[in-house]
Amino acid sequence: MADELENPGGGSGGDDDSGDSGDQVINADGTYEVRANQVSVVTWKNIPPSKDNESRIMLLAMGGLEGLFTDDGTVDVRGCKGVRITSGPLFPILNPFMSSDSTAGIEIEAGESQSVTMKRGMIPIIDQSITMTSSGITINAGLLGTLTLSAGLSQITIGPSGITIVGIPTVKINPGPPLPPPPPLPPDEPVSPDMTDP
């Protein structure tokens, strides 16, 4: 493995003759691996007068040149106990905690003023999306897509041709609570003696 460490900046361990950008690039022809009990990658805004950029972390597997960067490139993320993805300012109550001891599986949480979106494709009218905002949840199957809800042998299908509801054994639409029993009829009034036939 051939390693190349390029530090064009004048920061810690930098070279003053190569500029004062503060950037550092590490290249490896083989595998570059970091092992530790815990690994943290943190970005923050620089303090003036230092040069400032966006506070951003990027993970990119862009494939190879022979396939025009479309033949390969996979990012695998795995946590044996769980994977937790959160967003929002680091303020409690209205935003999720970055870490949680109760995580067991996959958790995705956003702040109170933020949204969660899952989208397939880049054509808004054709492609599908699921969006969660403070005002509600929208599931869009696209102009020609189909949305299907299934449980057991029952199914609801929403598509360009209409809505199909299949309920096995029954389909109940707004059944509501059972009807109350009818009120009892009033008792017969007693007949007055002077109203009887002679």
Tell me whether residue 11 is in a domain.
yes
Tell me, yes or no, if the pTM score tops 0.85: no
Tell me whether residue 25 is in a domain.
yes
What six digits make up the tokens of 24? 């550092």
Q: What is the pLDDT of residues 127-149, one digit of tens each?
A: 999 999 999 999 999 999 999 99
Q: Are residues 70 and 84 in the same domain?
A: no
Mean pLDDT of all residues in 159-163: 96
Q: Are residues 27 and 96 in the same domain?
A: no
Q: Are residues 37 and 59 in the same domain?
A: yes
Instruction: Note down the domain range covering 62.
Output: 1-76
Number of domains in the chain: 2
Tell me whether residue 133 is in a domain.
no
Q: Are residues 3 and 67 in the same domain?
A: yes
Tell me whether residue 108 is in a domain.
yes
Burial of 78 (0-12, 13-18, 19+ CB in 10 A): exposed
Q: What is the pLDDT of residues 10-22, one digit of tens each?
A: 434 344 444 566 7
User: 27: which residues sit within 8 A by CB, 6+ positions away?
Assistant: 3, 4, 5, 6
Q: What is the pLDDT of residues 73-101, one digit of tens each?
A: 889 999 999 999 999 988 878 899 999 99
Q: Are residues 55 and 110 in the same domain?
A: no
Burial of 142 (0-12, 13-18, 19+ CB in 10 A): middle
